[in-house]
Amino acid sequence: MSKRLANKVTIVTGATSGIGRATAVRCAEEGAIVIATGRNEEQGRKTESLITEAGSKGLFLRHDVTSEESWNAVISETIDRFGRLDVLVNNAGTFMVKPIGETTESDWDFMWKTNVDGTFLGTKLAMQAMRRNPEGGSIVNMSSLMGLVGFENATAYCAAKGAVTHFTRAAAADGAASRPHVRVNVIHPGVIWTEMLVHEFGEVEDIKNYMIEDTPLKRLGTPVDIANGVVYLASDAARYVTGASLVIDGGRGAD
């Protein structure tokens, strides 16, 4: 069997840990050439070596997804080194829980800049690059279950991820209007116990146990659970899938 992402040039943002790193590795296992991006050089180099261990090639690039200049540099270098761009995974994200009364304007900005501005810039610039690719391309955005339903103490995060959800649908229309087509889809992870959550909640067993009990499949998600969804959407097997929402949440959002 040929690999599912054989030679697809793939940028994964926020690939220095968690879902982004697992996505970079899974894509590499499926034959993709992976450009792993992020702010943490040391962790980025580790992802780079995991890509090589997975049997593919790729590299780490320093990247601030909130800066258009930084995006231009990442995409130019990708095209210089590998000739084209096939897949972009807008994974980089920030998370916060806070009651609305304590949420400041700078908190709001912090949620909005990486999650929404970053996704907008990536989609816009990747779409331009993919238009020069005879085979078009596939963009996968990372929303959240919280981008579909509300949660207490998460107005800023829910608003930002809701924006990513709906942005994706509109971007799918723009991607379909371009020739060749660019597909744009969005993934909604449930509770995936990564550094992003630990940073906010701490390694608190009570919180973990509550989340597990609240999930029909009675476990927390893993980064690989999400990475597997990315592989499907990025691959040609999903060539008729665009503007779609893939919920990977252990059933938490089914009620």
Site for another protein in 167-196 (CB under 8 A): 168-169, 172-173, 176, 181, 190
Indicate which single residue of 97, 149, 207, 244 sits in contact with another protein (rule: CB under 8 A): 244
148 makes contact with another protein (CB under 8 A): no
What does the alpha-carbon distance between residue 217 and residue 121 come to, in Å, rounded to a whole number?
35
Indicate which single residue of 31, 138, 221, 234 sits in contact with another protein (rule: CB under 8 A): 221
Please name every residue paired with 90 in a beta bridge, in sequence order, or none if there are none: 141
**Residue 97 or 212 with smaller CB distance to another protein:** 212
Stretch that binds another protein, among 38-46, 101-109, 118-126, 212-220 (CB under 8 A): 212-220
**Residue 61 or 172 with smaller CB distance to another protein:** 172
Residue 65's CB: how many other CB atoms inside 10 A? 26
241 makes contact with another protein (CB under 8 A): yes
The amino acid that residue 198 corresponds to is V
243 makes contact with another protein (CB under 8 A): yes
Q: Least separation, in Å, of the C-beta of 197 and another protein?
A: 15
What does the alpha-carbon distance between residue 100 and residue 113 come to, in Å, rounded to a whole number?
18
Q: How many residues bind another protein (CB under 8 A)?
A: 38
**Residue 118 or 223 with smaller CB distance to another protein:** 223
Stretch that binds another protein, among 46-54, 110-118, 150-158, 241-249 (CB under 8 A): 241-249
CB 249 within 8 A of CB 226: no
Stretch that binds another protein, among 48-56, 151-159, 202-210, 236-244 (CB under 8 A): 236-244
**Residue 97 or 244 with smaller CB distance to another protein:** 244
Residues in the chain: 255
Strand 9-12 and strand 87-90: pairing? parallel
Backbone angles phi, psi at 88, to 5 degrees: -125, 130
Strand 33-38 and strand 58-62: pairing? parallel
140 makes contact with another protein (CB under 8 A): no
Using the CB atoms, write b or e for 237-246: b if 16+ within 10 Å. Answer: ebeeebbbeb
Report the greatest alpha carbon distance in the chain: 55
Q: Least separation, in Å, of the C-beta of 196 and another protein?
A: 17
**Residue 62 or 218 with smaller CB distance to another protein:** 218
CB 90 within 8 A of CB 123: yes
> 3-state DSSP: the chain helix, strand, coil percent, rounded to 5?
50, 15, 35
Q: Which two tokens stand for residue 27?
A: 């894509």
Give the closest residue to 32 by CA, choosing from 80, 72, 79, 88.
Answer: 88
- Positions annotated as catalytic residues are 157
229 makes contact with another protein (CB under 8 A): yes
Binding site for another protein (CB under 8 A): 1, 168-169, 172-173, 176, 181, 190, 215-219, 221-222, 225, 228-229, 231-232, 237-251, 253-255
